[in-house]
Amino acid sequence: MRVLEIVPTLEAEASGPAHSVPRLCGALSQRGHEVRLASVGGNWNPEVGACSYFSARKDWRKVPVLNRFWLSSGLRDRLESDAGWAEIVHSNGLWVMPAIYPARAARQAQKPLVISLRGTLSPVALKRSRFRKNLFWAAVQGAAVRQASMLHATSEQEYRDIRRFGLGQPVAIVSNGIDVPASAERRSEASGRKTLLYLGRLDPIKGLENLFGAWQQLAAHHLDWQLKIVGPDSGGYRAVLERLAQDLALERIMFVGPRFGAEKQAEYAAADLYVLPSFTENFGMTVAEALAQGVPVVTTTGTPWAKLRDHNCGWTVPADVCGLEMALREAFSLPPSQLSAMGARGRLWMQREFSWQRVAADFERAYSWIIGGGSPPEFVMVS
């Protein structure tokens, strides 16, 4: 099968699609498919797998308003050429021009289009820059999405968001995959304290202010724990959080900045507990990454990780200060051996159900159904 994949950019490794889409491409290539990936900016990591990659130049880079739409005549022209080669065109994300070019190219080449929404239609996400998104939808994005033969959601929660938004196409519910390391070696912090880790963008949608409120209630009673905040700044929000930490007189809290590659894995390896306090997530890749490293997780009902309790490897609580405080208090009271056992169960879960080969096999079946017809796979919701 010849698959043309598009992601807006690979420049930001902290962005979920910049991580997951190349890995899907690599897994599809390993299954014998011809895959071409195109984006605006970024570089292909050959360790991910064999794949043809095209990186286009971003136009109007220095123009403040136009810069936000990731315009690229190079990507547009390349997709119009490659769509004729492809059997299926798969676009990832919304609200930028690299999410519009694939639809135009697929339409001109008369090829089926699949769109992965990547959390862009959640109620919380839609509230952000609502006016700009409404205009963009009316101008170009709505027609592009309605053209799709199939939409992709990474969870049941995202599927419900898609239907709530009013889109009626078939929806394939296929989770992201996860790179499970060969071993999950733990390392201790030099301070001897146990570490509660947050790793991700510093952004209001991540609920970090609620986490700080919970930490304020707990820190004085759990002197053997420290809170580490790891991740890139988003729109100056780190300064807001640092001021809040000062105002709340938070102790034993560290802002580390972004970590990628081996440095990111080292942060997981040094953590005793991972927390993702987000108001909403379409998948929550860092939850899977933490579990793959054998770290138990506390997260919220705004993420699609309700099965943490079923697998006895974490907590899912309301996205507020009270919910986070309750779960963290319980976790802090457990002996290290019990937290380690929870992490080990989470790691086995990731190995069993979230491998990239399994994800690629599901997409292979979904693509084949779109191209050839017949009965849809069981994970494709047609109503």
Domain boundaries defined on the chain: 2-177+355-381, 194-353
Structural fold of domain 2-177+355-381: Rossmann fold (3.40.50)
Q: How far apart are CA 323 and CA 305, in angstroms?
A: 15
Per-residue pLDDT tens over the stretch 12-45: 654 678 888 999 999 999 999 999 999 998 877 7
pLDDT at residue 124, rounded to an integer:
86
Structural fold of domain 194-353: Rossmann fold (3.40.50)
pLDDT at residue 17, rounded to an integer:
86
Same fold, 2-177+355-381 and 194-353: yes
* Predicted confidence band of residue 194 (pLDDT cuts 50, 70, 90): very high
DSSP string spanning 202-232?
B-GGG-HHHHHHHHHHHGGG-TTEEEEEES-
pLDDT at residue 16, rounded to an integer:
75
pLDDT surpassing 90 at residue 291: yes
Q: How far apart are CA 185 and CA 257, in angstroms?
A: 23
pLDDT at residue 42, rounded to an integer:
83
